[in-house]
Structure 1
Amino acid sequence: MAKLFDTTLRDGEQTPGVSLTPKEKLWIARKVDELGVDVIEAGSAITSKGEREGIRKIADEGLEAEICSYTRVLKSDVDAAHECGVESIHLVAPVSELHLKKKLKKNKSEILDSLDEVIPYAKDYGLNVELGAEDASRADQDFVEKIFNRGASLGADRVCYCDTVGVLNPEKTEQNISKLTENIDIPLSIHCHDDFGFAVSNSINALLSGAEQVHVTVNGLGERAGNASLEEVVISGKELYDIGFNANPELLYETSRLVSRLTGVSVSENKAIVGENAFTHESGIHAHGVLNDSATYEPISPDEVGRERKFTLGKHTGRASVKAILKEMGVEADDEQLKEIVSRVKEIGDKGKKVTTADLQTIVETVLKVKKEARAKLEELTVVSGNKVTPTASIKLDYKDQEEITQSGTGTGPVDASIKAVKKAISEIAEIQLEDYKVESITGGTEALVDVSVKLSRKGKIVSARGARTDIIMASVEAMLEGVNKLLMEEENNEGS
């Protein structure tokens, strides 16, 4: 069983713009503990008074996970960690020539000597010590091994190979970790950054090569490109490599959402496992396949990771996904109505816009009413408008599938001309008055679905009707015809009673 060392509250908090309060840190710690991580790196105690308060709250919470503080190879850092009541420290020593010369201005012997002093000091406090080799992937590998063996001889409980700037690749990971685990007698961890996009694959490869623990952050938070993503390591390890973790996958999504809310860092929609699109289908072919057998286009079931399958609507939408969504809405539509709903969804999608729930609701209500109550149907509409051109509309209606009515109208604009053309055409059937006209956008944007509401009257009877299209002219004509059909149908029913 591989172990998870969660550093969301330390390395993850170093994400630019992220700063957590002690209360927020405790909230996250409780959640990742419930998830089942083995170690929680709660922060770096030497950093500030607020940081120590947060670490102390977590250490005092009585969580199942081992609570750890990051420290440098300094007694003062160890003192601060001990005062917070943590069980372990992540004692990090730079090991690459670049870090030794440019950052610490020390040589290799001085680093080894500092371990001789600080590790026993920490052990005297009763602390577990994980010795981290910073920038190990760019260091002399023989020196990394020497550092780890010195740490083990001094009482360190485990060591950590840190790919500090994410330059490892899977092949080099396997080579370096395999050699180290053969020559070191205590457990080895891997700490990977994602600068080249290899953090998860390097982490998995390290576990396959003998590492016993992997450092992760929720949502892959961390400096620069972030750290190895907890959710991706857990699921890819479990599903693709049969690596077991003491973690409940069903809590991954809600943990991700909590961390996203508290840190203010949004999760990319197409992020693996926890992104909003991870189990969302639009394509008609894909949706149809998933509805028949989810394995056709889903490598894992969404409920395994606390998710639900979703269908989104757009230009790739097919009948199967629309039918599934209508079923969830409790709506029944015949084949003709379903065809019309799909057509209108695609009309919006072709304009580069996603169809929202509100859009679909309006489309469904409009189509079902129009189709069920249609006496007068639109066959053709032509509108001419422009600079120095009087707006003119020509319309052709099919009345009761028996009679064609053609009329035209002019107006102050294309909408006005279209409505007047409809009124003239309808006047051949019945005298109907337009009492009120309103228009609103269902969702934002210049290509949003437009909802037109009208009130029509005939012989003292007033009805309300609506039309919904991305085209305001079509929406207006649709609303007029829906109202007309309501009045005509009601008159027919009254005559028959």
Structure 2
Amino acid sequence: MDTTLRDGEQTPGVALKTEEKVWIARKLDDLGVDIIEAGSAITSEGEREAIRAVTAEGLDAEICSYCRIMQQDVDYALECDVDSIHLVAPVSDLHINVKLKKDREALKEMALNATEYAKDHGLIVELSGEDASRADLDFLTDLYKAGVEVGADRVCFCDTVGLLVPEKTTEIFKELSSAIDVPVAIHCHNDFGMAVSNTIAALNGGAKEAHMTINGIGERAGNTALEEVVMVLEWLYKYNTGIKTDELYKTSRLVSRLTGLAVASNKPLVGGNAFTHEAGIHVHGLLADTSTYEPITPESIGRERQIVLGKHAGKSSVTLALKELGLDVDESQLNEIVGRVKELGDHGKRVTDADLQTIAEAVLDIYRESKVKLEEFTVVSGNKAIPTASVRLTVDGKEIVEAGIGDGPVDATFEGIRKAISGFADIQLEEYHVDAITGGTDALVEVLVKLSREGKMVTSRGARTDIILASVEAIINGINQLIQD
């Protein structure tokens, strides 16, 4: 049972519109979920409208509404034309006495009356024990048995505040599954981070159904994450769940977008870092065999591998990333690219695919056969100083030193370069454009320049965190292109 649309929507700040519930329900159905808890019909007319919209879709999944053990709740569920109800009875003495202000016998009578009423009206009934992990197990078992006698089709054990541990869970479900003649379900919360482990333990103990949500969303610390349980069963237990696992990531992204709940970058399977690699030794292993540092293939849940580069990047990392970008480089070009990546990494930056492509293309331009090479340059600029630049170039094998002034440091540098090559080629700067590839004051910037010579025009680029250095790089690249042409 997926309860993203009911328990998941109870996450603080989440309120799904009717059409959004329908979109998610369609995706869950396509995923292969057996039961979709579409909401709680008692909540409001808007909620009932949304549940009716889901039932009207004619999905393969059984459509369920949450109900308290009250006839009114069942009547509202019937209005929504659902297939089943998740009929929830508080079963711990704490809940019975404090919340309901009743005793066990009164609670049992209410639960059985509601079960009979729902069955008389043609509904599938899953009788659920709320706060079951703090309930007396003998009383709970007796309630389940009595519920089955009056028609309950399934029963559910709810670890409402996440207090179970796997060893205890397995014991409980071995006992319940042997004592109850209908499928027993598990519903866990993640207050101690144990929801997935406890759900797997319950299934090992004999549970036939598990309640889960996409991305593990829900009240407080959330519910059991469906994608995690499914992949644990499929990959670690070799059990065929019938779920289309390659659609899990798309489903995760849809739920995240519509609920506005971001998925933590380190969340298993669907988090941003789950199939992202940076450290050089890991990527070196991936080049040989992706299973060295990936327990499953990213494609198995509809994802792609990502290589993120930083100060840990080595040649293997960069080679793999360039390969995935479709770029081929030789050893000297690779060394230059790696050096630039590490330089950015040392400044605390992560180099994205867009960054790497920009760096690589700039480097590939540099390593063409160059007749003009920059040896060094110095720029002086300030609020009371005229921008002045001195440049030292090697032009067709001859060293030339020149200086220039301009409206700014880039303009002054270009003027110095233009003067230095004036006896060799007459170059004009036609356009100059700067883009920040990433945000922040230390962003990688890409400079595009358009240069002309005797009616011929080229566009070239430079990429650095230093805007002046990127500009000089772009200009020198462009000059060499024009001279070659």
Q: Could you state the TM-score of these two structures normalised by the residue count of structure 2? A: 0.91
1:168 paired residue among 160, 164, 168: 164
Task: Kindly provide the CA deviation profile for residues 312-344 of structure 1, in whole angstroms up to 9, marking residues without a partner as x.
Answer: 333333333433443444433222222222322
Query: Greater RCO between the two (CA within 8 Å, min separation 6)?
Result: 1
Task: Give the drift of 1:135.
Answer: 0.9
Amino acid at match of 1:307: R
Task: Give the drift of 1:383.
Answer: 5.2
Matched, 1:129 2:125: yes
Amino acid at match of 2:330: D
Matched, 1:19 2:15: yes
Matched, 1:288 2:294: no
Change (3 A) 1:455 1:300: closer
State the alpha-carbon separation in 2 of the partners of residues 208 and 278 from structure 1.
Answer: 27
Equivalent residue for 1:231?
A: 227
State the alpha-carbon separation in 2 of the partners of residues 339 and 365 from structure 1.
Answer: 14
Amino acid at match of 1:476: S
Equivalent residue for 1:277?
A: 273
Task: Give the drift of 1:395.
Answer: 4.2
Equivalent residue for 1:28?
A: 24
Equivalent residue for 1:99?
A: 95
Amino acid at match of 2:362: T
Amino acid at match of 2:225: S
Equivalent residue for 2:375?
A: 379
Task: Give the drift of 1:427.
Answer: 4.8
Task: Kindly provide the CA deviation profile for residues 44-75 of structure 1, in whole angstroms up to 9, marking residues without a partner as x.
Answer: 11112222222223233332222211100111
Matched, 1:354 2:350: yes
State the secondary structure of the residue aligned to 1:227: coil
In terms of mean alpha carbon deviation, does 104-113 or 439-448 score higher? Answer: 439-448
Q: Could you state the TM-score of these two structures normalised by the residue count of structure 1? A: 0.89
Equivalent residue for 2:464?
A: 469
Task: Give the drift of 1:254.
Answer: 1.8
State the alpha-carbon separation in 2 of the partners of residues 229 and 440 from structure 1.
Answer: 41
Change (3 A) 1:139 1:386: farther
Amino acid at match of 2:438: T
Equivalent residue for 1:439?
A: 434
Equivalent residue for 2:111?
A: 115
Identity of aligned residues (%): 60
State the alpha-carbon separation in 1 of the partners of residues 459 and 59 from structure 2.
Answer: 61
Amino acid at match of 2:153: D
State the alpha-carbon separation in 2 of the partners of residues 415 and 388 from structure 1.
Answer: 17
In terms of mean alpha carbon deviation, does 45-54 or 158-167 score higher? Answer: 45-54
State the secondary structure of the residue aligned to 2:48: helix
Equivalent residue for 1:48?
A: 44
In terms of mean alpha carbon deviation, does 417-426 or 277-286 score higher? Answer: 417-426
State the alpha-carbon separation in 2 of the partners of residues 131 and 261 from structure 1.
Answer: 32
**TM alignment of 1:133-172, pairs within 5 A:** 133-172=129-168
State the alpha-carbon separation in 1 of the partners of residues 438 and 112 from structure 2.
Answer: 66
Amino acid at match of 1:158: R
State the secondary structure of the residue aligned to 1:208: helix
State the alpha-carbon separation in 1 of the partners of residues 427 and 46 from structure 2.
Answer: 73
Task: Kindly provide the CA deviation profile for residues 134-182 of structure 1, in whole angstroms up to 9, marking residues without a partner as x.
Answer: 1111223333223222222322122111111112222222233233223
Instruction: Tell me if structure 2 keeps the 8 A contact 1:373–1:486.
Output: no
State the alpha-carbon separation in 2 of the partners of residues 309 and 368 from structure 1.
Answer: 25
Amino acid at match of 1:445: G
Instruction: Tell me if structure 2 keeps the 8 A contact 1:75–1:121.
Output: yes
State the alpha-carbon separation in 1 of the partners of residues 455 and 176 from structure 2.
Answer: 91
Matched, 1:63 2:59: yes
State the alpha-carbon separation in 2 of the partners of residues 63 and 458 from structure 1.
Answer: 67
Equivalent residue for 1:197?
A: 193
1:454 paired residue among 443, 446, 449: 449
Task: Give the drift of 1:396.
Answer: 3.9
Change (3 A) 1:111 1:387: same
Change (3 A) 1:421 1:183: same
Task: Give the drift of 1:430.
Answer: 4.8
Amino acid at match of 1:276: G
Task: Give the drift of 1:346.
Answer: 2.7
Change (3 A) 1:442 1:163: same
Q: What's the Cα RMSD here? A: 2.6
State the alpha-carbon separation in 1 of the partners of residues 386 and 63 from structure 2.
Answer: 77
Count of matched residue positions in the alignment of Structure 1 and Structure 2: 485
Amino acid at match of 2:287: L
**TM alignment of 1:242-281, pairs within 5 A:** 242-281=238-277
Give unpaired runs (5+ residues) of structure 2.
Answer: none
Instruction: Tell me if structure 1 keeps the 8 A contact 2:283–2:320.
Output: no
Equivalent residue for 2:480?
A: 485
Amino acid at match of 1:215: H
Amino acid at match of 2:441: T
State the alpha-carbon separation in 2 of the partners of residues 407 and 319 from structure 1.
Answer: 37
State the alpha-carbon separation in 2 of the partners of residues 321 and 466 from structure 1.
Answer: 24
Instruction: Tell me if structure 1 keeps the 8 A contact 2:309–2:350.
Output: yes
**TM alignment of 1:410-449, pairs within 5 A:** 414-415=409-410, 418-427=413-422, 429-430=424-425, 432-434=427-429, 436-449=431-444
State the alpha-carbon separation in 2 of the partners of residues 386 and 144 from structure 1.
Answer: 80
State the secondary structure of the residue aligned to 2:138: helix
Give unpaired runs (5+ residues) of structure 1.
Answer: 491-497
State the alpha-carbon separation in 2 of the partners of residues 145 and 385 from structure 1.
Answer: 83
